[in-house]
Amino acid sequence: MPTVFERIVAREIPAAIVHEDEWIVAFRDIEPQAPFHVLVVPRTPIPRLRDAGPEEAGILGRMLLVARKVATEAGYDDVGFRCVLNDGPDAGQVVPHLHLHVLAGRGFGWPPG
Ligand code: 5GP
């Protein structure tokens, strides 16, 4: 059963895509938690960060570079942005397809909730 992100990557369901390349698709979160909230998703359906091995080093690095690119393009390079990767139930991961949240446009507290 493909996840909702696999279906977005396959263009089976619509999403507001802000970046797409050979490895990564990035699109607006349907329930944004900040004025800017984008999900950076590898095309390969790795369920969780715990499932990524050394062979995924390239894709993990690309995810961060795409996060920087979309935040910079949206004008948040100076004020900054937050990247969040929820891994597993305690972290609140809901969609079992590795993804990076890129959030910007407001201040964020620390420690996170
Ligand atoms: P998680 O809690 O797994 O780290 O985050 C999953 C995120 O996916 C949530 O922020 C949720 O709003 C987002 N999401 C869930 N379903 C959809 C969808 O169909 N389209 C989009 N664009 N985002 C989704």
Ligand 1 pocket, 14 CB below 6 A? Answer: no
Q: Give the helix ranges, DSSP H, for 17-88.
A: 57-73
> Cα(16)–Cα(26) distance, rounded to whole angstroms?
9
Compute the distance from residue 52 Cα to the ligand 1 centre, in Å: 20
> For the chain, what is the domain count?
1
Model confidence pLDDT, tens digit, residues 39-77: 999 999 999 999 999 999 999 999 999 999 999 999 999
Q: Which two tokens stand for residue 93?
A: 């991961």
Q: Establish whether residue 30 lines the binding site of ligand 1, counting it when its CB lies within 6 angstroms of any ligand atom.
A: yes
At 55, is the secondary structure helix, strand, or coil?
helix
Q: Is the pLDDT of residue 113 over 90?
A: no
Instruction: Say how many Å lie between the CA of residue 10 and the centre of ligand 1.
Output: 16
Rounded to the nearest angstrom, the distance between the alpha carbon of 60 and the centre of ligand 1 is: 19
In a domain, 112, yes or no: no
Question: Given pLDDT bands bounded at 50, 70 and 90, which one contains residue 16?
Answer: very high
Q: What's the pTM?
A: 0.98
Residue 93 has pLDDT above 90, yes or no: yes
Assign residue 25 the CATH number of its domain.
Answer: 3.30.428.10
User: Please, are residues 3 and 45 in contact by the beta-carbon 8 Å criterion?
Assistant: yes
Confidence of residue 25 (pLDDT cuts 50, 70, 90): very high
Mean pLDDT calculated for residue range 86-95: 98
Q: Residue 97 belongs to what domain range?
A: 4-104
Q: Does residue 1 have its Cβ closer than 6 Å to ligand 1?
A: no
Q: Is residue 90 part of a domain?
A: yes
109 lies in a domain?
Answer: no
